[in-house]
Structures are given as C-alpha cells and as structure tokens.
C-alpha cells in the first residue's frame, strides 16, 4: 500500500508507521519503505538513517538489493524498515537519466518479497511512505504498489488537491500500473467537539463511500510526542486514544484484505 496525499501535514507518515506497528503487533510481518528524504518514518521506527546508512537511495539509484538496506524495528517484532537518508533529496534528479526510472522500486521490492518467501519469512504487508509531491519517488511508489491508502485530515482544506491526486493515480493506472486503485481512506486529526470535523467526515464519506474506514484518528498530543522518542504511539503509549484508534484502523484494513482473498 502506498500512503499518499499531495497535501502536506495530513498525517501520512504518522499513519504509515502506526498502522504498520499495529499490524506487526497483531503478529503480521510488515515492511515500511521510507521514500521521504526527511526520513521521518525511519525516525519514528527507531531506525538509524544518517548519511552513511544503506538506504532506499542505494536501491533506487545504484540498484542495491533491498535486503541490504532493510533493518528491524527495535521496539516491535515483525516490523521491518528500509530507511530514507538525505541522499534521497537528490534522487529525483539522478533518476531522470536512468533506464526504467519509474519501475526501479517495484522491481527491487518484487525481488525482495520473492526472496523472503523462499526463506519462509513472507511479508504480509508493505507500506510505502511518500513525500508530499508527485515526483519520481512518488511515481515509483505508485508503480510498486497495488493499493493507495489516503489519509485525509478533518479540516477546512481537506479535499483540496485530492482531485489532482486521483487524476494522477488514474494516469499511473493507464500507463504504468493497471492494478493500482484507492483501497483505503482514513480520517485523521478528528475533533469530535467541532462541527467542522463532522462536516468534513460526512463529505468524505459521501464522496468515497466504502473506501473510508469507520475508525477515525483524533488529534492527540501522544501521537505528536512519540516520534521524538524514536517510537510509534503504539509502543510509546499503547492505551492512549491515538494508539487505540490506529489499532482499530489496522483491524479494519486487515479484514478488508482478508475479504479480498486473504492477507496480502
């Protein structure tokens, strides 16, 4: 699943790491691919990602095997991460001249998943955290995935830019990845005390119907604090409202996957 929204500040990275941690805590093997040069997903998972660390950059630009860059999350068994380093900031330019530049992540990921299956260490879910722009990094993520997972914040500009994102997904589908589709939409930063949150939630549900999962993620200090401790909220404060909301969202996603013919 590629976690994407071209609007910044909607909770993409927070959603990626917390849903991944919740699925892993339930006993599934989960891989997070950090494609954002800021490396926030790597930070939240407690994964070193300074300049010398082998990273997704080496996979995309130098063709390194993904198994050489994947690390285990120290706090959550079954949770793996291919980190991002600051080198990724230049990858957009370096990829332009490379052969099959849109396919490089997909090919490396397919080879890695096959290798894991051969070792009897099958990965159940892959979540890809994208930068908030539609460059070659995000296009690689769309080509590598079957599903798009969109977090939408319950605020005034929630649907701004979403139509452009959906058009871009259709373009990728038409030209590069026919199996790509929006499978999951999660409402984040929900504030039950305001009429605005309820109105935005209603509007999103009216537009997207079954793709919107029932669980909503509230505004939460605990969710914001967790990354500064190199943790997800699932380990930082497992009983907080944020952790419980992400756990509920993960259950819905797993059931959705089972309904489509088994856990991916």
With contact defined as beta carbons under 8 Å apart, do 73 and 45 qualify?
yes
Checking if the pLDDT of 179 tops 80, the result is yes
Token pair belonging to 248: 């509920």
User: Looking at the domain assignment, is residue 183 inside a domain?
Assistant: yes
* Distance, CA of 46 to CA of 75 (rounded, Å): 8
Query: What domain range includes position 247?
Result: 2-258
Q: Six-digit token pair at 242?
A: 């944020």
DSSP structural state of residue 75: S
- Condensed to tens digits (0 to 9), the pLDDT of residues 180-237 reads 999 999 999 988 888 988 998 998 999 899 999 999 999 889 999 999 999 999 999 9
SS3 (DSSP) at 216 = strand
Residue 121 lies inside a defined structural domain of this protein: yes
**Cα dist. 207→76, 185, 211, 212 in Å?**
36, 11, 10, 9
Coil vs helix vs strand at 205: helix
d(CA 133, CA 8): 8
Q: Which residues pair with 185 in a beta bridge?
A: 150, 212
* Pairing of the two strands 30-34 and 125-129: parallel
174 assigned to some structural domain: yes
Q: pLDDT at residue 263 above 60?
A: no
Helices (H) and strands (E) in the chain, counts: 11, 8
Give me the pLDDT at residue 175, please.
Answer: 94
* 22: in domain: yes
Percent of the chain with pLDDT over 90: 75
Question: Judging by beta carbons within 10 Å of its beta carbon (0-12, 13-18, 19+), is residue 70 exposed, middle or buried?
Answer: buried
- Per DSSP, the residues of 56-74 read HHHHHHH---GGGT-EE-S
Average pLDDT score, the chain: 91
Task: Give the CA distances from residue 47 to residues 27, 32, 192, in Å, rounded to whole numbers and listed in that order.
Answer: 20, 11, 34
Whether the per-residue pLDDT at 160 is higher than 90: the answer is no
Instruction: Please state which of the ranges 22-31, 63-72, 158-167 shows the lowest mean pLDDT.
Output: 158-167
Residue-wise pLDDT for 231-256, tens only, equals 999 999 999 999 999 999 999 999 98
Phi, psi at 157, each rounded to 5° = -95, 25
Report the CATH number that the domain containing residue 208 is assigned in CATH. Answer: 3.40.50.300
- Domain total of the chain: 1
Asked whether the predicted pLDDT for residue 261 surpasses 50, the reply is: no
Beta-carbon contacts of 72 under 8 Å, excluding residues fewer than 6 positions away, are 79, 80, 81
Domain contains 263:
no
Could you tell me if residue 169 is inside a domain? Answer: yes
CB atoms within 10 A of CB 251: 15
Inside any domain, residue 73:
yes
Q: Could you give the dihedral angle defined by the CA atoms of residues 235, 239, 245 and 247, in that order, rounded to the nearest 10 degrees?
A: 50
Instruction: Copy the structure tokens of residue 78.
Output: 């079954």
| C-alpha distance from residue 237 to each of 80, 86, 129, 243, 254 (Å) | 20, 29, 22, 7, 22
* Tens-digit pLDDT profile for residues 108-136: 999 999 999 999 999 999 999 998 888 89
Report yes or no: 241 and 218 within 8 Å, Cβ to Cβ: yes
264 found inside a domain? no
């Amino acid at each position: 699943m590629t976690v994407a929204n071209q609007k910044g500040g909607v909770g993409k990275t927070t959603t990626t790491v917390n849903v991944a941690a919740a699925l892993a805590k339930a006993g599934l093997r989960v891989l997070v691919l950090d494609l954002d040069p800021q490396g926030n997903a790597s930070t939240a998972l407690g994964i070193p990602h300074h300049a010398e660390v082998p990273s997704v950059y080496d996979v995309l630009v130098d063709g390194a095997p993904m198994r050489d860059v994947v690390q285990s999350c120290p706090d959550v068994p079954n949770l793996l991460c291919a980190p991002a380093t600051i080198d990724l900031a230049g990858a957009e330019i370096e990829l332009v001249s490379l052969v099959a530049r849109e396919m490089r992540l997909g090919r490396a990921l397919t080879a890695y998943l096959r290798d894991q299956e051969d070792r009897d260490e099958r990965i159940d879910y892959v979540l890809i955290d994208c930068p908030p722009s539609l460059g070659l990094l995000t296009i690689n993520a769309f080509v590598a995935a079957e599903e798009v997972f969109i977090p939408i914040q319950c605020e005034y500009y929630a649907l701004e830019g979403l139509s452009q994102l959906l058009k871009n997904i259709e373009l990728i589908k038409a030209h590069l990845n026919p199996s790509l589709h929006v499978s999951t939409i999660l409402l984040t930063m929900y504030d039950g005390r305001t009429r605005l949150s309820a109105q935005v939630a209603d509007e999103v549900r009216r537009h997207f119907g079954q793709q919107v999962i029932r669980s909503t993620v509230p505004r939460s200090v605990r969710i914001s604090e967790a990354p500064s401790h190199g943790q997800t909220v699932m380990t930082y404060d497992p009983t907080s409202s944020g952790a419980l909301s992400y756990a509920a969202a993960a259950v819905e996603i797993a059931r959705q996957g089972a309904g489509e013919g088994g856990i991916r």
